[in-house]
Amino acid sequence: MSKGGKGSRAETFGGIHAVAAVLELAPERVKRLQLATDPVEPALERLLHRARACGLAVERVGRERLDQQHPGFQHQGVIVHCTPRPVVDEKTLIQRVRDGLDLVLILDGVTDPHNLGACLRTADAAGAGAVIMPRHHSAALTPAAIKVASGAAETVPVVTVGNLARTLASLKQAGMWTVGLAGEAGESLYALDLRPPTAIVMGAEGEGLRRLTREACDHLAALPMHGTVESLNVSVATGVTLFEAVRQRQAGAPD
């Protein structure tokens, strides 16, 4: 069983929301769908009806058998086997920015699949058009990441690049403002104008932004921390930052 992740191999994943998203948005990718027979939950019944409406065959199996076939999966009673998702490369991404894409998220070395999935979910909610990651030393789009993303893996392209600093330079040339989050930065995130087309750059868990990534950003900013903890989980910090951009775009930038 291939678990995929970078867009080059077949994908197998579970989870009600993740499977519902692929049935809704890309049913042509589905090659095999396994659905638990016990217990029959309303959410699983809705997936069954949706799959049949798409003309897909559904394999009904006991939940215990799903557990045995896919150890470690938190599948919620449904497993889907898909062809690889379409790949969005760097060249296509840059063209989308030139065509008007105005918010992207960059993850500089995030290695926890659960954090990747949570960041994808937040990116979708905030209207970001892509999540960009280095090809090496980053989490793959594993079944765990896809499940945590709760459908966002089907809506937000994950673009892997070989040289993140070079990609940042290309984004700037295409008209994007690049803002990196760093705890030691002297400027508050809330003092920046995030209304122009913006790439939000988040660092790795624990290590933060790499030196070359920092140097490639137009600005570094920090979240004001008023309690005793020194930092936030990267997915939480991503949510705060992306929705500050959303807030400014809806209500105007701070004075």
- Residue spans of the domains in the chain: they are 11-82, 90-251
According to CATH, what is the number of the domain 11-82? 3.30.1330.30
- Best CA proximity match to 84, nearest among 147, 12, 33: 12
SS3 28: helix
From residue 226, give the alpha-carbon distance in Å to each of 161, 229, 232.
36, 8, 12
Instruction: Specify whether the CB–CB gap between 118 and 109 falls below 8 A.
Output: no
For residue 254, is pLDDT > 60?
no
- Per-residue pLDDT tens for 87-146? 899 999 999 999 999 999 999 999 999 999 999 999 999 999 999 999 998 999 988 899
> Are both 11-82 and 90-251 of the same fold?
no
For the chain, helix, strand, coil in percent to 5 are: 40, 20, 40
For residue 252, is pLDDT > 50?
yes
- Separation of first and last alpha carbons in the chain: 54
pLDDT at 62: 85
Residue 219, beta-bridge partner list:
179
- Per-residue pLDDT tens for 194-225? 999 999 999 987 788 999 999 999 999 999 87
* Alpha helix segments (H runs only) across the chain: 16-25, 42-53, 63-69, 90-98, 113-126, 143-149, 164-173, 211-216, 234-251
- Look at the domain 90-251 and name its fold: Alpha/beta knot (3.40.1280)
Confidence of residue 4 (pLDDT cuts 50, 70, 90): very low
Give the least confident one: 36-45, 49-58, 225-234, 244-253.
Answer: 225-234
For residue 6, is pLDDT > 50?
no
From residue 202, give the alpha-carbon distance in Å to each of 103, 121, 157.
14, 15, 17
| d(C-alpha 91, C-alpha 96), whole Å | 9
Whether this prediction's pTM lies above 0.75 is answered by yes
